[in-house]
Amino acid sequence: MTPLDELLLFSGLTLVLLLLLGRFSYAGKIATVFYAGQLLFLAKMADRIADGAIMTFSLQAELFGQQMSWRYDALSWFFAVITLGAGLLSSWYASGEWGERFRRRGGNLWLLHVALAANVFSMLILLGSGDLLALFIGWELVSWASFLLMTVAGGRAIQAAMRYITYAMSGAMAILAGIVLLWSHAGGLQYGQIIDVMPQLSQAQVWLLVALFGAGFAVKMGLLPFHLWQAAAYAETPGPGAAFFGAISARMGLYAIILVLVQLIGLARLSELTIPFTFLDMRDFWAWIAVLTIILPTYTALRQTDARYLLAWHGIGQGGYMLLGVVLGDALGSAGGLLHVFNYATNQAVLFFAVFAVMFRTGTADLNKLGGLITRMPISFFAMLVGIIGLAGLPPMNGFVSKWFVYRSLMVEGEPLLFLGAIIGTLGTILSVYKLIHNTFLGQLRVEHVEVREAPWSMVVPMIILMLLIFATGVAPGLVLDWVALVQSAVGLPVVENTLGGIELASGSLDMLWVVGVLFAGFGIGALLFYSGGRTRQVHQLDNYAGGHFLTAETRYHYSDNFYAGLMHLIRPWYRGSFVWLESTLGSLLGIAASLMQRLYGALHPSIYLLVTVVVTLTWVLL
Amino acid sequence: MSIQILLMELVLMPLVAFVVGLFMVLMLRRIGAKLQRRVGPPMMQPLYDIVKLYGKKTQISHGWMHDIGIIMAVGGYVAAETLLPVPGMDGIADKGGLVTLVYVMMIPSLGLALGVGQCANPNGSIGIARALTAMLAYDVPFVIVVFGVAWYFGTTNLVDIIAIQQAGGVSGWGAIAMPLLAIAGLFALQGMLGKQPFEIYIAPAEIATGPMVEMSGKYLGGLFVMQCFQLYTAGVLYVSLFLGGGENWLFFLIKVFAVVAIPMTVAFLFPRYKTEQMIRLMWKWPVMIGLLGLAFVMH
């Protein structure tokens, strides 16, 4: 048995076990242990992956005369670590009181566990695909497994899931068309064959290939203009599912983009493809798609009033940084993009955990119906704080490092407009996440939340683990950058030469060990100064300046609705809903076409069709 | 560089920044007094104010995030000063660079925002909402400036940026090579310091001084210290990017005080813009000037 055999078999076993035992109250704990087991099997490969070895899977299948195989290289391994980490912590989160409550409220906990395990299993298979056929099959498995998890909540979630599967199937058709195109030229679907045939393909053919594969993968990644399905589908999924989706699911699209566009077609080839009537080549085009994906969804997130939707929209936006880094293609940028996959996963998971902890205790994620929970749920507050600092990309959390790499790469490559776009996205994120933490945890505590307690330990411990991870990889980004360097060399990108604290460059280095050390020393001085002052007296929240009025428990003294009123005054007209319009127009056109066909079919007598068919067949035979 | 010298620099740099910052606050008040035909405060007044505020008997806390927010606001700037090279001392400027400095400078604002948030006063929250909006407004021209400077000098290391300028004499200064970016930078500086006409988030007659509404005693004292650091940081950063940094302490201080005097003087001549007016103005003129300057620099 190869290590990959062990991993995939064990992952399959987890799925089977949960299918059988998922009803029982200890199912969540079993799942958590088994995910930890899978992570161990993955860790066993680490040494050999680090040596550049490729793990093979013993089972090989043959379909339509095509050999299918599975293998893990550093790229697969990197994404698999994040997948399993997200799966482990999500199922841990669900294993205690959260799951119990979910079941008592009529939720199908069995389905949740099974769907989560199916997601992990299918993603591990997808990540191991050794040829395009295996990739396509893995892609479909992941799509349907995601669909299954999205439907768990029922109601609005079903609608969102249907929208997703419509997008996913259209995307899959595009990918299939791309695969057929490649097969007709290469005569096979092995990666080697495709790399060999690439130089013989004309520019137009490569153009078509990039469009087909790109559009297909962009759907999963939620890149503009295929992003509309994602926010609702992720946000409506119950707690752990949403955290898992948010952390890693959409990144399967990035994995496939790296595999096909970077590894098989090559970034250099992308630069040769010009876009008619513009100054851009295909690579610039992708960079701009990435930047638009950063900006527009981030500012959509800014307008959300539901914490889950806010996070889900940010998830789409953050994907843009990863793609931007990868498309830049130099050592710095691609390292930043890949590092951001890991960093963002930790941030998004902890944020979803915190939001669902608040929901668990208060029953709502509506940002206009919360406030002041910091005194009741301090650990959840701290988890969200660490998460938002990471998501917004400020030091000392890990999100800063990955974005720093992307910024620096844009500076070195001389891309001012892309740089400006990336920063505008970051600024929007800062505004939006402050609103999130302010409206949830800061400000006035509502009367109905006075009795609220901290979330139970089964939910708090995964948050604490993530917080530590976010901080540790922020102080010592070299820990993850070592893996990133392996991925770069496996994919054929230039390899980053990192240090434990960041990177040393002639044109400006980064050493987070020093930066964070000095930052905390600064906080220490700030604290010394603060505590050397007079003794403080803590007052009740209603003991507050109100311009001469008395505040009572009934007074709503919390500013939450339309939080950025001044900004919105200016930019509200800029939200045109163009993509929603485009989507509904497409839908309507399809509806019209369908009813036309129906009319045509219903209006004419069937015998006429028979006649036409016979005539056409006869003509064909005779000629 | 030995570790002892580095540690000494790390202690000295924030200390110097604080003292210089105190004098900048004094200058701010004296300029205001001159323009309003008043005498103005004596030299030690800023220091007296801080000591008074820290020593007050009534110190109202709204919770632990309120306290930590103030600690972060002061501590963040203490850390930021070590990333900002001054004559004779580089600190850890070579380990962070320009981009890191810009982001470390956001930590105090974040701390302040969190602290004000816990005060549970809508005036404060509105103030923070406006302050963050203002940041969105002035940071757009500011990052254009940062990009242009980093591109022109080919590095984000402030030590190198200063060294390159000083090697070329006055004609090597960033302001001579990139005049348009220097102008855009001045615009951004005005917004960054929150001075009129861009003091939307203080707006005393409107939202009762916004973030400061629940700040008393050492909380307000902390913000006072933060303001000293903020004036100093903004001035030194501008001098490092455009005016060749400091050859020696005398020229350095003259340049820094001159730079900081500009927004202070402008401030007393203008009323306040509305939030959306500020954004529109920031996204129009300095951005256009900045992009034009960038186009010149890059071609």
How far CA A83 is from CA of A253, A461, B194, in Å, comes to 13, 19, 45
Q: Report the residue of A535, A544, A551 to disrupt the B interface, i.e. the one with the largest count of B CBs within 10 Å.
A: A544
CB contact under 8 A, B118 and A437: no
- Grade residue A609 by pLDDT with cuts at 50, 70 and 90: confident
A446 and A334 in a common domain: yes
A515 and A593 in a common domain: no
What is the spatial distance between Cα B117 and Cα A274, in angstroms, rounded to a whole number? 50
Segment holding A226, helix H or strand E: none
- What does the angle CA A448 – CA A453 – CA A456 come to, to the nearest 5 degrees? 140
In a domain, A596, yes or no: yes
- Distance from B20 to chain A by nearest Cα, in Å? 18
Each residue's pLDDT tens digit, A463-505: 999 999 999 999 999 999 999 999 999 988 888 888 888 888 8
In a domain, A390, yes or no: yes
Give A-chain residues touching B59 at CB under 8 angstroms.
Answer: 533-537
Q: How many interchain CB pairs under 8 A, A with B? A: 255
A595 and A517 in a common domain: no
Segment holding A372, helix H or strand E: none
- Distance from B113 to chain A by nearest Cα, in Å? 8
3-class DSSP state for residue A443? coil
Each residue's pLDDT tens digit, B270-290: 888 888 888 999 999 999 999
Q: How many domains does chain A have?
A: 2
A596 and A455 in a common domain: no
A344 and A397 in a common domain: yes
Which range has the worst mean pLDDT, A35-44, A75-84, B168-177? B168-177
Give B-chain residues touching A408 at CB under 8 angstroms.
Answer: 99, 156
Question: What pLDDT shows up at residue B1?
Answer: 66
What is the spatial distance between Cα B140 and Cα B285, in angstroms, rounded to a whole number? 11
A422 and A567 in a common domain: yes
pLDDT at A603 over 80: no
A596 and A457 in a common domain: no
Block residue for tokens 């700040």: B215
- What does the angle CA B206 – CA B208 – CA B210 come to, to the nearest 5 degrees? 95
3-class DSSP state for residue A483? helix
What is the spatial distance between Cα A421 and Cα A406, in angstroms, rounded to a whole number? 12
Q: Report the residue of B12, B47, B54, B104 to disrupt the A interface, i.e. the one with the largest count of A CBs within 10 Å.
A: B104
Question: What pLDDT shows up at residue B82?
Answer: 92
CB contact under 8 A, B140 and A541: no
Question: What pLDDT shows up at residue A556?
Answer: 81
Give B-chain residues touching A415 at CB under 8 angstroms.
Answer: none
pTM for this prediction: 0.93
Mean pLDDT of chain A: 90
Phi-psi region of A558 (alpha: psi -120 to 50; beta: other; left: phi over 0): beta
**Low-confidence stretches of chain B (pLDDT beneath 70):** 1
A571 and A442 in a common domain: yes
pLDDT at A586 over 80: yes
Find, in chain B, the residue whose alpha carbon is nearest to that of A373: B118
Each residue's pLDDT tens digit, A224-271: 889 999 999 999 999 899 999 999 999 999 999 999 999 888 888 888
pLDDT at A557 over 90: no
Share of chain A above pLDDT 70, in %: 100
- Grade residue A324 by pLDDT with cuts at 50, 70 and 90: very high
CB contact under 8 A, A547 and B276: no
Residue of B103, B129, B135 with shortest CB distance to A563? B129
Is ipTM over 0.90?
A: yes
In a domain, A249, yes or no: no
- Distance from A527 to chain B by nearest Cα, in Å? 5
In a domain, A110, yes or no: no
Q: Report the residue of B138, B156, B212 to disrupt the A interface, i.e. the one with the largest count of A CBs within 10 Å.
A: B156
A518 and A410 in a common domain: yes
A603 and A520 in a common domain: no
**When comparing pLDDT for B25 and A24, which is higher?**
B25
Give B-chain residues touching A514 at CB under 8 angstroms.
Answer: 92, 95-96
Tokens of B214: 């629940």
Tokens of A78: 């990197």
A449 and A356 in a common domain: yes
SS (H, E, C) B145-163: HHHHHHHHHCCCCHHHHHH
pLDDT at A607 over 80: no
Give B-chain residues touching A433 at CB under 8 angstroms.
Answer: none
b (16+ CB within 10 A) / e for A603-622: eeeeeeeeeeeeeeeeeeee
Residue of A372, A434, A565 with shortest CB distance to B132? A434
- Work out the number of other CB atoms within 10 angstroms of the CB of residue B250: 10
What is the spatial distance between Cα A3 and Cα A128, in angstroms, rounded to a whole number? 12
Residue of B104, B114, B150 with shortest CB distance to A519? B104
Q: Residue A225: CB partners within 8 Å, gap ≥ 6?
A: A579, A582
How far CA A610 is from CA of A485, A596, A623, in Å, comes to 64, 20, 20
Query: Which range marks the domain in which residue A296 is found?
Result: 274-502+511-524+557-575
- Grade residue A540 by pLDDT with cuts at 50, 70 and 90: confident
- Distance from B103 to chain A by nearest Cα, in Å? 6
A292 and A396 in a common domain: yes
Give the number of residues written for chain A.
623
Check if the beta carbon of residue A42 is closer than 8 Å to that of residue A109. Answer: no
In a domain, A516, yes or no: yes
CB contact under 8 A, B225 and A545: no
Q: How far apart are the first and last CA of chain A?
A: 59
